[in-house]
Amino acid sequence: MTSVLVERDMPSPLDQVDADLSDAPSASDSRSSTPHEVIWLWILRVLLPVLAILSGRVLYWIWFDNPYGGINWYDIVGGIALALCTIIVSLWAVGSWCSKSVA
């Protein structure tokens, strides 16, 4: 019966982990942003969606408006490269808008 009492009085290893996590600083507590970082963040937030929209328009122009007539291999290869870049820029734009470093 004494072993049961001793086991209850001993702290669990999970209690220590919980205490360590609650004392850990969060990303928002780390430091304040400098004016240059805030300006750069807002430049990204404005220009990345604009770049993604323009890339999408060019892609539409290349693939669907077909200004030169016929489908050539370089239209397909260039369009695929532009489509991949547009996806990357779009993901970057979403990431910049969803970041918690708003100042």
Domain segments of the chain: what residues? Answer: 31-98
- For residue 29, the 8-state DSSP code is G
- For residue 27, the 8-state DSSP code is G
Answer with the residue of higher pLDDT: 3 or 46: 46
Residue 78: its pLDDT value, please? 86
User: Helix axis angle, 35-60 relative to 73-98, nearest 10°?
Assistant: 150
| Contact by Cβ (8 Å): 38, 102 | no
pTM for the whole thing? 0.59
Measured CA to CA, the distance from residue 52 to residue 88 in angstroms comes to 9
Digit-coded pLDDT (tens) for 18-57: 555 555 555 555 567 788 888 988 898 999 999 999 999 9
Digit-coded pLDDT (tens) for 55-78: 999 988 888 887 777 778 888 888
Model confidence at 83, pLDDT cuts 50, 70, 90, reads very high
Radius of gyration of the chain (CA): 26
